[in-house]
Amino acid sequence: MPGKDREEESGKYTTTYPDSAFIDAIQQLGGMAGTSDIADEIGCTRRTAYTRLKSLENKDRVNSRKVGNSLVWTIPE
């Protein structure tokens, strides 16, 4: 579940999503899902989902491939 963190300098609250939320969302969506589907499952914006998924891809925790105009995300075996 996302939590609220407060930034020290600005005092603003920000919503955080753990990496596991994105991996769990892919699993809950059948092991393969588009960015928008993952964002909807988690409750974040599409942009947030894309940024976090790209970060996870750089850590080899998820894979992506282009299907039409969309990216489809999977979990490596």
Answer yes or no: is pLDDT of 3 > 50. no
| Chain segment 4-61, per-residue pLDDT in tens | 555 566 666 556 889 999 999 999 999 999 999 999 999 999 999 999 999 999 999 9
Question: Residue 26: is it exposed, middle or buried by C-beta count within 10 angstroms (0-12/13-18/19+)?
Answer: buried
pTM of the shown model: 0.79
Give dist(CA 42, CA 15) in Å, integer: 12
* Residue 65, amino acid: R
Q: On the CB side of 7, how many CA atoms lie within 13 Å of its CA?
A: 8
Phi, psi angle pair for 59, to nearest 5°: -95, 10
C-alpha to C-alpha distance for 16 and 76, rounded to whole angstroms: 24
- With tokens 């282009």, the residue in question is 66
Show the domains of the chain with their CATH numbers. Answer: 3-74 (1.10.10.10)
